Amino acid sequence: MQFALVYPFLYKVLKPTFKNCLWAGDETIREIALTFDDGPHSQYTPELLKVLEEHRVPASFFWLGMCVERSPKIAQAVYQQGHWLGLHGYSHRSFTRLSYNELNRSLEQTQRAIARACDLPLAQVQQQVRDVRPPNGIFTPQILNWLLEWSYRPVMWSVVPEDWVQPGVQISVQRVLQQVTNGSLIVLHDGACGGQDVAATVAKLIPQLRQRGYEFVTIERLWKKSALRMSMTH
């Protein structure tokens, strides 16, 4: 069953309820973030990287630790191309199924995998790779409290074209273009589910979004704008 039409309504309900998460950027600025979950993948991520490099677009990747271990060279290529890195858990298990210790270990394992693959000091990765997106976007207030306790930053979404059910490139593109607005945080997938079409989808999306005047930024940029906005309203 596809839920693509439900996500815009979910976003409107959840965003004001869970204010400690990053749902989107500044609605007054024409900046958007392309984000990719479930990678890195041996075939789909390199195809995607070529498109991003060709268009000089920075993106943000939320990685599974086990996929980083499977494709360390590809993980390193993503990092060296200057993209922003985040955590999606060690495996694609819903965070709601993990205990306090299991979730903590899952995130730490993923940081260790990134440090090894990208040839970085673990301390640097622990300090810099702190953005976490829960698999399937499923979380509870308790999970958010744990993430904040461990100094992670929960990242969600505002545009979900549901590309993982493979609706086809054209439909994924159309869904993004219908929903995109200032500050949009767009979720696509470069993993086993949805990755087949990701390079083609992004190759079509980027020129059309640029034509509408959008600038592509990373999650870090959206956080900074969000913090600035919060400080100005208090």
pLDDT in tens, 121-160: 999 999 999 999 999 888 999 999 999 999 999 999 999 9
**Model-level pTM?**
0.93
**How large is the average pLDDT for residues 44-54?**
98
Read off the amino acid at residue 211.
Q
Contact between 217 and 33 under an 8 Å Cβ cutoff? The reply is yes
Neighbours of 124 (CB within 10 A): 13
- Eight-state DSSP code of residue 163: G
Contact between 216 and 36 under an 8 Å Cβ cutoff? The reply is no
Neighbours of 68 (CB within 10 A): 29
Q: Is the pLDDT of residue 108 over 70?
A: yes
CATH classification number, 7-233, choose in 3.30.70.330, 3.40.718.10, 3.30.1330.10, 3.20.20.370: 3.20.20.370
* Residues marked as catalytic: 37, 189
Confidence of residue 234 (pLDDT cuts 50, 70, 90): very low
Confidence of residue 50 (pLDDT cuts 50, 70, 90): very high
